[in-house]
Amino acid sequence: MVPPAPETIAAFPETFLDYFRVRIDPAQSGDTDSVPRFGIPNGASAGLHVRRAVAEFIEDPAACPRDADIVLKLSPEAWAKAYLSAEPVDELVESGDISVTGDDAAEAVRVLDQIDRYDPERAVVVPPRLWCRVTGSPAALAPQGTRGRIGSSQTGTRTTRSASPPTRPKACRSRAGCRCVAATRALS
């Protein structure tokens, strides 16, 4: 995961609460059945129903058949800190950045600690795969800055420098010998 900027999270708190739900830790939340509601001063309100290793996003807590067990009031900036794991939830509650009503603060911290924290040390960036437009198979690309074979003909092999700026498309070197520009396709 590449985290968004804190300003982006603060601008769209409900959207990132919806994204937050997928970080639930099934092992820790297996016996939990709680509905925390998040109230942001700009009038936004949303919730999560954490139950049996699942966190369901509640867009409109007033329409939910179950009342909130915990009500958290927090600023968009405090929500960004919690989302990005910039500060532990218990410290945000103790400092008053997050105020808890309803149940007690310890229960709110326990429920929110069942969401995996973002750890930059464990972040992995997955590069996109390049696919040959002609063959439909993964493209065999010449390493940047090296001389490589990009096409062949009956008279011989052309060699060229494949060092190009990253904004330009790379030429494919698939076994089919095509000279297409490889297309980026998301991993499935």
pLDDT in tens, 126-153: 666 666 666 666 665 544 444 444 444 4
Residue 138 forms beta bridges with which residues? 131
Side chain identity at residue 88, one-letter code: P
Residue 74 forms beta bridges with which residues? 98
Side chain identity at residue 8, one-letter code: T
C-alpha distances (whole Å) from 117 to each of 23, 29, 56, 63 are 8, 14, 18, 29
Q: What confidence tens digit (pLDDT) does each residue in 40-65 have?
A: 887 789 999 999 889 999 999 989 99
pLDDT of the residue at 41:
83
Q: Is 180:134 a contact under the CB 8 Å cutoff?
A: yes
Residues forming CATH 3.30.1050.10 domain(s) in the chain: 6-122
The CATH superfamily of 6-122 is SCP2 sterol-binding domain (3.30.1050.10)
Q: What confidence tens digit (pLDDT) does each residue in 74-133 have?
A: 999 999 999 999 999 999 999 999 999 865 789 999 999 998 888 777 766 666 666 666
C-alpha distances (whole Å) from 52 to each of 5, 31, 55 are 31, 6, 8
Give the 3-state secondary structure of residue 71. Answer: strand
